[in-house]
Amino acid sequence: MSNYASDRLKQNAERIMQLWEVRARDEVSASMHQDSLVLQNSLPQYLNQLVDELSTRIDRTPTRIATDKVESKRIGKQHGHERAGYADYSMSQLIFEYHILRQVIFQVLEEEAPLEVQERDIIIGSIEQAVNDAATQFSKTLRDIQELFMVTLTHDLRNPINVVKMGTQLILRRLERGDTHFDVAARMIGAINRLDSMIQNLLDASRLRAGQSLKFEVEECDLNLLVQNIVEDLNFAYGKRFVVVSDSEVRSYCSPKEIRRVIENLAINAVKYGDPTALITLRLQQTETQISLTIHNEGDPIALDAQSILFQQFRRTTSAEEQTGWGLGLFLAKSITEAHQGTIEVESLEGKGTNFIIQLPKVPL
């Protein structure tokens, strides 16, 4: 392999960038709003790196190859990171930019004579690796931006919601049951609580997607009392729909607040998708080492293919598509249960209704 391709690329690097920019502005819609320096960003550095890869004058020792690989990856990641910072850019547009660059490089380098097969292979391999590095970093940076936005949004929403909630609670205390305004205020409290729960779900889902664990404090819990209190609140909000079946005192170590979220989520799901004329049963049982809570509702069964996606975030079954919410409730219920070293399963059969079964360890975590 000669140094023809390397020398010609070095001599024409600026021209290649100019030709690339003309085509990019014409064919990549997101590039229309960027000035020349911003649009090209790290691509001139990439061409310099490619010049070295094509050169036979450089002694390509294992150390030099490893160094070049690290530098090439850095440049690709830099390009992907910068592109992710612009709202107009998509992954497909980022990749298309590199396709245009490859075409322009071959167009310029082969104006006088065809490249050798080895030279073409080096260029193609280098472009493919650059695309992979840039796309990987683009996805990571975009995910980081989205997570930051989500955390900021949920945090900022909390303050006005708390103000509205406290004000509504003060109004509720001044009213008496039976007053039409009492029912309105109670419904407002319920709506505010649901909104607060949705915001907490978004925040927790963002943390989990970012690889963080859910943080909560564990203490000794009287699960029978906890379930009874939850059912009292649910019966107030949804009517006398819920009953508790529990043989005796059931104690474990858990976060009462988080386990309440799990139970409420499953119980409210039973209201949404179950038979509106049938009772919803919460059955609490225990063995020497295990605690089981089964939430049962009558109604149409959940299809087997739908059961497989129930606990995935942002996924909804066909029957749930018209319901409000983020599609995060069951995903977070599963995550919270597993953080307690427990499990959650669903059983749903025609004529037998649907059971969501939570299993928790009885011993301290």
Chain segment 94-109, per-residue pLDDT in tens: 889 899 999 999 999 9
Question: What ranges do the domains of the chain cover?
Answer: 4-142, 147-209, 219-361
Question: pLDDT at position 39, please?
Answer: 63
CATH number given to 4-142: 1.10.490
pLDDT tens figures, 228-241: 999 988 887 788 89
Question: pLDDT at position 40, please?
Answer: 72
pLDDT tens figures, 173-209: 777 766 778 777 877 877 787 777 777 777 776 666 6
Cα 293–chain centre separation: 28
SS3 320: helix
Question: pLDDT at position 60, please?
Answer: 65
Tokens 């809570």 sit on residue: 293
Question: pLDDT at position 318, please?
Answer: 47
Question: pLDDT at position 267, please?
Answer: 92
Question: Could you tell me the two tokens for 347?
Answer: 């059983």
Is the pLDDT at 314 greater than 80, yes or no? Answer: no
Question: pLDDT at position 326, please?
Answer: 45
State the Cα angle at 79 between 34 and 211, rounded to 5°: 120
85 band by pLDDT with thresholds 50, 70 and 90 = confident
State the Cα angle at 10 between 93 and 13, rounded to 5°: 35
CATH 3.30.565.10 fits 219-361, yes or no: yes
Question: pLDDT at position 293, please?
Answer: 94
Question: pLDDT at position 322, please?
Answer: 47
Question: pLDDT at position 321, please?
Answer: 45
Q: Global pTM?
A: 0.52
Which of 43-52, 139-148, 355-364 is the least confident region? Answer: 139-148
User: Whole-number mean pLDDT of the chain?
Assistant: 81
SS3 115: coil
SS3 258: helix
Question: Could you tell me the two tokens for 299?
Answer: 């109604």
CB count within 10 Å of CB 102 equals 18
Is the pLDDT at 5 greater than 80, yes or no? Answer: yes
CATH 1.10.3470 fits 147-209, yes or no: no
